Amino acid sequence: MSTPPPPGIYVPVPTFFQSKKSATYNAIASPVDIDTQVAHSIYLAKAGTKGLVILGSTGEAIHLTNKERFNVLSGVRRAFDHEGFKDYPIIAGTATQNIEETVDQLKNAKEAGAQWGLCLVPGYFAGANSQEGIIQWFTAVADQSPIPVMIYHYPGVSNNVKVVPSTYVTLAKHPNIVGCKLSHGDISVHAQIASNPSIDHSKFHTFTGLGQQLLPAISIGVVGAIDGCAGFFPETVVKLYELSIKNQPADEEIKKRRSLQYKLSSMEEIIVKFGTVGIKEAISRLRGLGDPDGTRLPLFRGIPGGEREWSKWKGVVDSMEAEENGA
């Protein structure tokens, strides 16, 4: 059974290229600077970070050839082994759109010494992407990958493609999909994944890609961050992580607060989707006050779809109502 990367702070490292001072400098595509890559990687390992993401978005993966990718990964792996960091985690990024090439990069990453792959959600046809298409894409990749893979959702570089929480629930069941990196600021979506009772969080770890929300993210079940600032202030970011997990309340209290946040975040989606109309609909149906049709133009009647749409919310509404009645 595949295992996820351990909790903690990971660094999405940049790829270093030779400077103008180098005899082999090329203004269009200068060669990679393995020596600097290694020096930076060792510095980060000694500073207490848990692992590295190499060749992610920060690492300009799309700017490198497959040979360069291998040289960077294998160079860092050899340096870690030589410096006494034999089992130090390396997560290799992929950013290609097609399944075959993604799998090839994952195979090369394993050969180079990486233990996990971080696969960017394909977003070229984001407007036409269906959740089922995303599920099948990742399933095909994970079925063929020789190393465990993680879902990398970074809308900013993926044409604003959307991945809904239920898609993570489905993909988390795959034995070779072991986690995700969420590089967006929607903390509610983080909660709907990291605190979701339908996911086995011992086998699927949720990481935030934003250190600026590390403390609140930890409180809802996120296990760590893959954070760019840790590339130059590693000890400070690690310190924040350690303080965030220190003196946590009793297990039952943690479970309860995460359960409540998950339910609330899920319920709030009706407001995200329908705004004031959704609020009025819920108040009318649940508390018998007002009429969801009672709006002023340009708002028009209740939620689109009426009873059929409302029925889709039954599960989360019932769970919130149970909490309300037992509060």
Q: Are residues 241 and 306 in the same domain?
A: no
Is residue 18 very low, low, confident or very high in pLDDT (cuts 50, 70, 90)?
confident
**Among 160, 164, 71, 177, residue whose Cα is nearest residue 116:** 177
How large a percentage of the chain has pLDDT more than 90? 79
**Token pair in block for residue 124:** 């070229």
Residues 6+ apart with CB under 8 A from 41: 13, 52, 76, 79, 80
**Among 275, 276, 282, 269, residue whose Cα is nearest residue 310:** 282
Average pLDDT over residues 189-208: 97
Are 39 and 33 in contact by the 8 Å Cβ rule? The answer is no
Is residue 294 very low, low, confident or very high in pLDDT (cuts 50, 70, 90)?
low
> What CATH number has the domain bearing residue 112?
3.20.20.70
Q: Are residues 226 and 302 in the same domain?
A: no
Beta strand 149-153 with 116-120 is parallel
Q: Are residues 104 and 178 in the same domain?
A: yes
Q: Are residues 262 and 120 in the same domain?
A: no
Residue, of 298 and 115, whose pLDDT is higher: 115
Residue 24, domain member (yes or no): yes
Residue 183, domain member (yes or no): yes
Residue position matching structure tokens 């961050």: 225
Q: How far is CA 4 from CA 191, 207, 262, 300, in A?
A: 19, 11, 22, 47
Residue 3, domain member (yes or no): no
Write down the pLDDT at residue 296: 74
Average pLDDT across the chain, whole number: 93
Q: Are residues 150 and 269 in the same domain?
A: no
Q: Are residues 175 and 193 in the same domain?
A: yes
Domain that holds residue 285: 252-326
Q: How many domains does the chain have?
A: 2
Are 44 and 231 in contact by the 8 Å Cβ rule? The answer is yes
How large a percentage of the chain has pLDDT more than 70? 99
User: Of 225, 248, 271, which marks where a domain is finished?
Assistant: 248
Q: Are residues 93 and 138 in the same domain?
A: yes
Write down the pLDDT at residue 167: 98
10 forms bridges with which residues in the sheet?
A: 51, 226
Determine which of 104-108, 164-168, 259-263 has the lowest per-residue pLDDT on average: 259-263
Write down the pLDDT at residue 327: 62
Residue, of 207 and 246, whose pLDDT is higher: 207
Give the SS3 label for residue 83.
coil
Residue 147, domain member (yes or no): yes
**Is-catalytic flag, 21?**
no
Q: What is the pTM of this model?
A: 0.90
Of 20, 46, 181, 256, which residue is the catalytic one?
A: 181
Write down the pLDDT at residue 298: 82
Average pLDDT over residues 257-272: 92
Write down the pLDDT at residue 220: 95
User: Of 206, 230, 248, which marks where a domain is finished?
Assistant: 248
| C-beta atoms surrounding 323 within 10 Å | 14
